[in-house]
A and B are shown apart, each in its own frame.
Chain A
């Protein structure tokens, strides 16, 4: 029997980390072979590869913590939509290249300070995984901020597209800062800071980059939620999992 989030907050916390990486990695991999320019094909595949690697670490540890014998693959390929714990922003469809990059940036701007703090976790495994992921996240943030700046600054059309992307994504961007009992449990145990503690540093990065990108920070503060708690995902996650899980679901127990 699976323990609830309240009974095993560390497991819940690890799923959140792993599912973010998995779901964003999946979306990023959808760009394979169809990016705007060859260098971007390579870069996007590289990002997706990093994220799938991070998934293996987080979900692998989650399986150990759960203690029910589930592997990272079991968690990735055999859970239902409501068992997923990723941010809604990461599961919505890619949209155009601009929206994909804007989403990456809004996520990276959180991940860098977040993983930086997780390196000091009282849980040494969390600290080790965070240290490894941080190296990649720093590079991702560097890339995504430069791309957002270039596309915001580029042409009238690209500025309009980036502005549309920001308008679309903004209501999703606040979900990560809505803390709940799991976050408090992790903070009390010294495993992780409260995500809300990182809001100001996140906003500072976002404001700086958007200004350089000739884009205006949206005023709204409303944030969609339901992804990281699993309470209410978007309609899109079910389709993603139907694709992602097809072989494991169709051929139970087969090894690949």
Chain B
């Protein structure tokens, strides 16, 4: 899940009695399953919450290029290199659709980028973990994209039209990425040498709990989540999605011959679900507040890229203005 702990009003679900007639009509449209489009009426809090959510999602795609970009130049075969390049390119593309979706809510891409760089907006905690071996490219595709899909598939039905439509396209590509990641794991964990199997298990050990954290802490008591669910910009609770992820992932790990690093993991026949250990939420809150293994590095890489590219953006703009003047003068 690329949007974690997105704040809404902080007051719980607004009751109908407190709603203005416009807000009532708006909520009715959502309850009927209608899509809200950019020019339609929407409560200010809905707009702001969506900007936070879509912005965080977009930033995650952009920062998310870095841990995988770390292995493009070291990919072990030409085909793997091409696949990884294509994947990272898709992520940049997702960032683009999402910034465009956010722009329909009245915030520019530059403003959002500035908020990321000044740490007023966040990106997913998962991208603050390092990618140390090639098996991490497998684990990231399998687990991180896998977790993202759990969240994003329901978001195709989200109430805001541009966001829902961006999600349809993104989901198609994410499932492809997940399959690629899993294929890397098959090659290493199932068919690989002893060294490769060790790398694969090590990658799972490091990424398992951070992947579970992607869904965010339990939100059964969260006032933000309740309002977001009433607005249908959040469809399932964090715990529901985490459970679904564990239920789907455990058999995949078994197929690979890998061990999930959780002694408490067991199948519960009565519930029809796996029981599993919660991740260390204190670690999650440290990562979210800037103390993850790579937070400082990821942000400084992004800021440096932005600053180093300033002359290019200025030049492109200056050239566009000059060209426009020249063509006007020629008319």
Taking a contact as CB atoms under 8 Å apart, the answer to whether A150 and B62 are in contact is: no
CB-defined contacts of B81 to chain A, threshold 8 Å: 29, 52
Taking a contact as CB atoms under 8 Å apart, the answer to whether A154 and B85 are in contact is: no
Closest 10 A-B residue pairs measured CB to CB?
A36-B309, A154-B315, A158-B315, A33-B65, A45-B89, A32-B69, A34-B305, A36-B312, A247-B76, A256-B76
CB-defined contacts of A154 to chain B, threshold 8 Å: 314-319, 322
Hey, which bits of chain A sit against chain B, CB under 8 A? Answer: 22, 26, 29-30, 32-42, 45-46, 48-49, 52-53, 55-56, 59, 72-73, 76-77, 96-98, 149-151, 153-155, 157-158, 161, 243-244, 246-248, 251, 253-256
Taking a contact as CB atoms under 8 Å apart, the answer to whether A38 and B76 are in contact is: no
Asked if B72 is at the interface (CB within 8 A of a chain A CB), the reply is yes
CB-defined contacts of A155 to chain B, threshold 8 Å: 311, 314-315, 318
The CA of A255 and the CA of B80, in the complex, are separated in Å by 11
Query: Pick the contact of B319 from A53, A150, A253 — CB < 8 Å?
Result: A150
Taking a contact as CB atoms under 8 Å apart, the answer to whether B73 and A29 are in contact is: yes
CB-defined contacts of A158 to chain B, threshold 8 Å: 311-312, 314-315, 318
CB-defined contacts of A48 to chain B, threshold 8 Å: 72, 85
Taking a contact as CB atoms under 8 Å apart, the answer to whether B311 and A32 are in contact is: no
Taking a contact as CB atoms under 8 Å apart, the answer to whether A97 and B312 are in contact is: yes
Asked if B86 is at the interface (CB within 8 A of a chain A CB), the reply is yes
CB-defined contacts of B95 to chain A, threshold 8 Å: 38
Mask for B185-222, Cβ within 8 A of A = 1, else 0? 00110011101100000000000000000000000000
Mask for B316-327, Cβ within 8 A of A = 1, else 0? 111110110000
Q: Closest CB of chain B to A189's CB: distance in Å?
A: 28
Query: A35-B309, A77-B77, A255-B192 provided; 14 other pairs, C-beta below 8 A?
Result: A33-B66, A33-B88, A36-B309, A37-B309, A38-B62, A41-B65, A48-B72, A49-B85, A149-B319, A157-B315, A158-B312, A158-B318, A244-B73, A247-B75
Decide: A254 near B85, CB < 8 A? Known: A33-B305, A35-B305, A243-B73: no
Decide: A33 near B301, CB < 8 A? Known: A38-B95, A38-B96, A150-B319: yes
| 25 A–B pairs (Cβ distance < 8 Å), ordered by A | A29-B81, A33-B69, A36-B310, A37-B312, A37-B313, A38-B62, A38-B96, A46-B89, A48-B72, A48-B85, A49-B85, A52-B85, A76-B78, A151-B312, A151-B316, A151-B319, A153-B323, A155-B314, A158-B315, A243-B74, A246-B74, A247-B75, A248-B76, A253-B193, A255-B191
Q: Closest CB of chain A to B309's CB: distance in Å?
A: 2
CB-defined contacts of A30 to chain B, threshold 8 Å: 73
Asked if B161 is at the interface (CB within 8 A of a chain A CB), the reply is no
Taking a contact as CB atoms under 8 Å apart, the answer to whether B319 and A153 are in contact is: yes
Q: Closest CB of chain A to B14's CB: distance in Å?
A: 36
Q: Closest CB of chain A to B41's CB: distance in Å?
A: 31
The CA of A98 and the CA of B309, in the complex, are separated in Å by 10
Q: Closest CB of chain B to A34's CB: distance in Å?
A: 4
CB-defined contacts of B193 to chain A, threshold 8 Å: 251, 253-254
CB-defined contacts of B86 to chain A, threshold 8 Å: 45, 49
Q: Which of B76, B88, B306, B320 has the most CB of A within 10 A?
A: B76
The CA of A149 and the CA of B85, in the complex, are separated in Å by 27
Decide: A45 near B79, CB < 8 A? Known: A36-B308, A154-B319, A256-B187: no
CB-defined contacts of B74 to chain A, threshold 8 Å: 243-244, 246-247
Classify the secondary structure of A's interface with B.
Answer: helix
CB-defined contacts of B245 to chain A, threshold 8 Å: none
Asked if B82 is at the interface (CB within 8 A of a chain A CB), the reply is yes
Q: Closest CB of chain A to B223's CB: distance in Å?
A: 34
CB-defined contacts of B187 to chain A, threshold 8 Å: 255-256
Q: Which of B310, B319, B322 has the most CB of A within 10 A?
A: B319
CB-defined contacts of B130 to chain A, threshold 8 Å: none
CB-defined contacts of B317 to chain A, threshold 8 Å: 154
Total interface residues in chain B, CB < 8 Å: 53
The CA of A256 and the CA of B200, in the complex, are separated in Å by 12
The CA of A26 and the CA of B78, in the complex, are separated in Å by 11
Query: Pick the contact of B85 from A32, A73, A255 — CB < 8 Å?
Result: A32
Q: Report the nearest B residue to A250, measured CB to CB.
A: B195
Taking a contact as CB atoms under 8 Å apart, the answer to whether A98 and B312 are in contact is: yes
Q: Closest CB of chain A to B133's CB: distance in Å?
A: 9
Taking a contact as CB atoms under 8 Å apart, the answer to whether B195 and A251 are in contact is: yes
The CA of A205 and the CA of B199, in the complex, are separated in Å by 50
Taking a contact as CB atoms under 8 Å apart, the answer to whether B316 and A161 are in contact is: no
Taking a contact as CB atoms under 8 Å apart, the answer to whether B77 and A39 are in contact is: no
CB-defined contacts of B308 to chain A, threshold 8 Å: 34, 36, 96-97
Q: Closest CB of chain A to B217's CB: distance in Å?
A: 29
Q: Closest CB of chain B to A165's CB: distance in Å?
A: 12
Q: Closest CB of chain A to B93's CB: distance in Å?
A: 6
Q: Report the nearest B residue to A28, measured CB to CB.
A: B85
Taking a contact as CB atoms under 8 Å apart, the answer to whether B77 and A49 are in contact is: no
Asked if B304 is at the interface (CB within 8 A of a chain A CB), the reply is yes
Q: Report the nearest A residue to B79, measured CB to CB.
A: A56
Q: Closest CB of chain A to B113's CB: distance in Å?
A: 9
CB-defined contacts of B142 to chain A, threshold 8 Å: none
* Chain B positions 19-34 with a Cβ under 8 Å from a chain A Cβ: none
CB-defined contacts of B73 to chain A, threshold 8 Å: 26, 29-30, 243-244
Q: Report the nearest A residue to B310, measured CB to CB.
A: A36
Decide: A254 near B72, CB < 8 A? Known: A33-B65, A155-B318, A247-B134: no
